[in-house]
Structure 1
Amino acid sequence: MANVWVEDLLERPEVKIAALVDIQEANAKALADRHGLTCGLYTGLEEAIRQSGADLVVDATIPASHYAVSSTAMRLGCHVFSEKPMAATMQEAQDIVRIAEETGRSMAVMQNRRFNRHIRALRGLIADGTIGRIGYTGADFFLAPHFGGFRDAMESPLILDMAIHTFDQARYITGADPVSVYCQEFNPAGSWYAGNAAAICIFEMSDGSIFCYRGSWCAEGVPTSWDADWRINGEKGTAVWDGEHAPYAEVVDPDEQEEVFLKKYTRVEASKPQTEREGHTGGLDEMFAALREGRAAETDCKDNIKSMAMVMGALESARSGCKVTLAEYLAEN
């Protein structure tokens, strides 16, 4: 992952990589050699910041290290761009938001799956009122990646490692935030994961609608896109996106149809969004633009904590067997 960040950063004339940090200096050296970098190599973040004079830290570490990296960097005067999730626990996430406010520094999270021309077109279709007020949003995510390694041994690999992408996309598409969640995790027959690799989650959203997530990481055959398969029902029609092609909607035909059993519909194509770079590069474009313009990034920690609350709330619900209200997760924000 660090390699992806470096490749993107090296393309930006406003960026100079001042230091590389890894607890194993050999890893930092290997990355420097791969990209022809002559910057300082360090095994400690605080030393690296103080000696290099860096003003921005990119956190490509494992989730368990995100709190330490972000809090140290912001307290030393640096902004932070971080891999998801923003922290390993809700308490750490809440502390990161508090530290950002206290220091005046920013911490933005790489939610690269927001930065796709089709999902942005879908959001536009919904925001324009094409299907009216939303009642239901559904996302199906069914794939069968054979990763090997740590994911195969995780207790909740799907929800903890991947679902935050789809949860964050749901917030982005609908413009609504989570209120409560009921989740059931399970490990289907034939699974090669030690933990629960499938889940069904039902979220109540702030606009009164329901978001239903159905997912599996051990679903062989007929895979969905990595961006899921979406259906959004509104008062006037339905919008759909298969995660790969352009989204569209079908809305009730404006002709008089009051006594018709099954109404006729008109197809509405989504408007093409303004040309944007996609994925990881698009996410970085937004982060740097926010710094230049002195505003919060689209995926700033103060916003992204709501997506993280969906993950942690779903896990709590799965373990307790009860519906979980998310207000306490977001009480400090």
Structure 2
Amino acid sequence: MRHISDEKSAVIVPLTRGQIFTLKELADTYMACYQGGDRQQATRLAYFVTHLGTKAAHEIDGDDIQDVLDALQRRGRVHNRGGASREAITLVETHKPLKPASVNRYRTTIQALLTWGRKRRLMPKGWMNPVTDTERLPEDNVRTRYLNEAEYLRLLKASKASYWKKLHVLIKLAVTTGARRGTLMGLRWADVDIEGLRAFAERTKNGEPFVLVLQDDVAKELKSLRGASAADELIFCGRNPFKPMNFEKAYHNAMANAGIEGACFHTLRHTHASWLAKQGAPLLAIADSLGHKSLEMTKRYAHLCVDSRAAMLSRVFAAAA
């Protein structure tokens, strides 16, 4: 019996429908039932368990998965000095980057685990696999996917026709602020200063407070949406004002109607950063806008800064010639 637990004698307790269980518990049960021939399956799952193991499996969202995949890329390749036959695995960093295909295998592994849980009716009704809201890396070195202006306008038009009337405002906020999905879905009316064009996200993924800057048109649309909503109600809720809307179906319908392929909700965050880079914003400013703690994750947009940097250098040194 294979499982993720570090304890050799750990007992795997069967999971039941309606039970709240952690990702680690789901992974242990999955590996106990695993009949596949992929020897690295348990190792890849263990990486996700290290980061998300104590979190309720059904509460894990696309941001959580993307954060782990990003951390995986930053970590790079590792070498197991312990050897395949050792009980104690000793992983040593090689300081070599992981190939996109390797990162994608990690993504496929966590997707398979969560899909397994859904097929066995272990997840709540209406639950959707959060991995679908993350990006599969292109394996031919194509640049990070982001929307161009025409795609963005088509998406806004399609989202305004959605059955969920708040969708187009959510999309505008995602593109103009660069905020993560989890940050946006956790916003309450009390967090928004419409007149001051600010929104205050108290809890971000890196644990620090963050201020979102609102554009005039977005602030006006938020004001029209509020109505009689109480201050402690979520902005992007469904029928339950204290529960985030499950908008995956509405979003994917809008994407399809707009004729956009190869993009997920996280692509909107990339769009924000990419547009800033193309307009000449320095990487430090882009990192600040995204809430990155370091420039490492922001460097993926560096290639978009080349044209604006070339224009700047031309202005500076042409004048000195």
Same fold (TM over 0.5): no
Q: Which has the higher contact order (CA 8 A, sep 6+)?
A: 1
Larger relative strand fraction = 1
TM norm structure 2: 0.29
